[in-house]
Structure 1
Amino acid sequence: MVKSLREWVTEDVDPVRDRSVVWLSEHHFFRDPMRSVYVDPAYFFAPADGIIIYQAVVEPDAPVVEIKGSSYTLRDAVRDDSYDEVSLVIGIFMTFYDVHVNRVPYSGRLTYRELDAIDSVNRPMLHVEHELLKRLRVPATGGEYLRHNQRMVNRIDADELCRPYYILQIADYDVNCITPFGLAQHRPVQQGWRFSQIRMGSQVDLIIPLGGRHDLRPLCELGQHVQAGLDPLVRIVGK
């Protein structure tokens, strides 16, 4: 269920906030709760549990966010200078308290590319997590990890929409480990299926190119907390 940031911290984080890091690591972080699988081709569902920290329609060379005075674009995100699609981008930040199993937002065929960190190690996401959990606000700074860190670019060709879309998984400083549950490329995946896990803190972006027969209508707002496979993020208008 979609919750405000304050509601989620009060109801889901505060009850376990005082537990030790060892307990959180062993009993909380790696949980993989049973969930009902929702299938509705009129929606993209959330690919990850977490907090929406940006949401916008952007040109491929326009800034998704500004990082220390320089633009972080879609081409930077997918590390492909040939990317030329105007796209809806929704960034979901996964805190240490979130379930880190990712799910398929819309059915199709999955292909992925793993890209190493630009530097020797990943940049930390701790500032963003602190601002969200302590100050209860979406931070305007601290996004250096977006450009530099290890990532998995998952492309899903959605035959029903006659278009591909992308799930971008970005790893945190602590453990650069993105683990697909299936290694085969071009494999069929269904809406709501578990397809991967990112360990420790991380971020998942849903990138949907515009155009074609359908319009896209975002359903959530900045600062809201969503759950993978349960909460619709985008309505496909015209279906």
Structure 2
Amino acid sequence: MTLLIVLLVFLVVWAGAFYYLRQVWFYRDPERIPPARKNIVVSPADGQIVYIRKFKNDKIISEKNEQPISISEITKDKLAYDCGTILGIYMSPLDVHFNYAPISGQVKEITHSQAKVNLPMVDLWEYVRLVYFRRFVNLFSKKFHFENERNTLVLQGDYRIGVVEIADKFVNKIKCFVTIGDNLQIGQKIGFIERGSQVDLILPDSKIELEVKEGQQVYGGVTVIASLLTDARADA
């Protein structure tokens, strides 16, 4: 009888903890105040930076298979991306899942691309390394990167910057809080992705100085990803 009571108490506690994590903690919405610095790009999401890649003439060279990859394969839009930097932020189930405007500016384009089936972003070992050990895992050019559901936003401030929200296997929908023509403030919430997911940030080249590195944990609306060069023009 005592053992049965212990088991029941354990199950109740476990169920309560699971409910709290899934229905309360996961949807937490902490206040985010961007740094009081000018000419910066803040992180669009909480998570770990899983790759940083340069691209030129819309092409990235994958270190894994040495095949050129087009930026448009990731964004799924029809814009031209000349040269710049793309970085990926993996959002684990333990991270805040709201997404934020990396700069102040106007929403110029929103492109939503649906997938027949969302593929898993990581295998079990990669998940353990990322979530529990907080170790660096390179997720660049995996199959999900090109096939899963995504929402691409293009913001125009002093520079044109792209934000690509990519859904993981169990995500039903990417929620977008903005529309074309909206004027956003840096750090403003722009969307929400359930469970594990990824956000890519596309930055103009020769107009930025990166302040982060691969494997670093970043926080949406707070962590400075890059500083913008004040003498550059908004032609990226």
* TM-score for both structures, normalised by structure 2: 0.80
Question: What are the residue-to-residue correspondences of 1:218-237 with 2, within 5 Å?
Answer: 218-237=210-229
Kindly indicate whether residue 162 of structure 2 is the aligned counterpart of residue 170 of structure 1. no
Look up the match of 1:85. Answer: 82
Look up the match of 2:195. Answer: 200
Deviations 1:110-131 (A, max 9, x none): 13111112xx210012424333
**Cα separation, partners in 2 of 1:96 and 1:70, compared to 1, 3 Å:** farther
Question: What are the residue-to-residue correspondences of 1:4-83 with 2, within 5 Å?
Answer: 20-59=17-56, 60-63=58-61, 66=64, 71-80=68-77, 83=80
Structure 1 stretch 129-138 or stretch 197-206: which is displaced more? 129-138
The amino acid of 1:231's aligned partner reads T
8 Å contact from structure 1 (residues 65, 72) kept in 2: no
Deviations 1:175-213 (A, max 9, x none): 13111123x3211101111111111111011101225xx
Give SS of 1:92's match: strand
Q: Indicate the RMSD between aligned Cα atoms, in angstroms.
A: 2.5
8 Å contact from structure 2 (residues 85, 203) kept in 1: yes
Structure 1 position 232, deviation (Å): 0.4
Structure 1 position 49, deviation (Å): 0.4
Look up the match of 1:156. Answer: 155
The amino acid of 1:201's aligned partner reads G
CA distance in 1, matches of 2:230, 2:70: 29
Kindly indicate whether residue 177 of structure 2 is the aligned counterpart of residue 181 of structure 1. yes
Look up the match of 1:5. Answer: none
**Cα separation, partners in 2 of 1:228 and 1:135, compared to 1, 3 Å:** closer
Give SS of 2:90's match: strand
Instruction: Tell me which structure has the larger Cα radius of gyration.
Output: 2
Give SS of 1:30's match: coil
Deviations 1:100-154 (A, max 9, x none): 011111111113111112xx21001242433312454322468221111000010
CA distance in 1, matches of 2:48, 2:139: 16
CA distance in 2, matches of 1:141, 1:91: 8
Look up the match of 2:6. Answer: none
Structure 1 position 40, deviation (Å): 3.2
Structure 2 residues without counterparts, runs of 5 or longer? 1-15, 232-236
CA distance in 1, matches of 2:79, 2:34: 35
Give SS of 1:62's match: strand
**Cα separation, partners in 2 of 1:141 and 1:51, compared to 1, 3 Å:** closer
8 Å contact from structure 1 (residues 109, 156) kept in 2: yes
The amino acid of 2:218's aligned partner reads V
Structure 1 position 90, deviation (Å): 1.4
8 Å contact from structure 1 (residues 32, 101) kept in 2: yes
CA distance in 2, matches of 1:139, 1:38: 28
8 Å contact from structure 2 (residues 44, 201) kept in 1: yes
Structure 1 residues without counterparts, runs of 5 or longer? 1-18
**Cα separation, partners in 2 of 1:30 and 1:65, compared to 1, 3 Å:** farther
8 Å contact from structure 1 (residues 63, 74) kept in 2: no
Work out the percentage of aligned pairs sharing the same amino acid.
26
CA distance in 1, matches of 2:204, 2:229: 14
**Cα separation, partners in 2 of 1:57 and 1:236, compared to 1, 3 Å:** same
